Amino acid sequence: MIQPFQDPEDQLPGSNETNIVAFARICKALGHPARVRIVEHLRSMDQCICGKIVDILPLAQSTVSQHLKCLKNAGLIQGNVEGPRTCYCLNKEVLEQFRQMVDKLTL
């Protein structure tokens, strides 16, 4: 299970082991172009998407499912089962914490 970021004020790498692990997990999850496209698409929709993610990528359903699982395990997205399908949304809180951590790494 994903360990969320700890205190938002304490997100500089080296200051909190949990934050470093969470940061690295998200970096790894964003290390594939298909997963970045999924995050971009969810961000642009600004709502949950049910079953249409496979339509935006030239990939098989099983491959898209693996990418979604990776993003979910990193805490970047949330999936809610609605009937026969799962609806996915960005976890905006985790994404914002990640952005703040990246900002602290820049000079």
List pLDDT tens digits, range 47-74.
Answer: 788 778 888 888 998 999 999 999 999 9
Burial string for 70-82 (b: 16+ CB within 10 Å, else e) reads bbbebbbbbbeee
> Distance (Å, rounded) from C-alpha 31 to C-alpha 102?
15
Q: pLDDT tens-digit profile of 8-41?
A: 454 444 457 778 888 899 999 999 999 999 999 9
Q: Hey, CA dihedral for 7, 18, 16, 24, is it positive or negative?
A: negative
CB 26 within 8 A of CB 76: yes
Q: pLDDT tens-digit profile of 84-98?
A: 888 899 999 999 999
Where do the domains of the chain lie, and which CATH numbers do they carry? Answer: 17-105 (1.10.10.10)
**Around Cβ 11, how many Cβ atoms within 10 Å?**
22
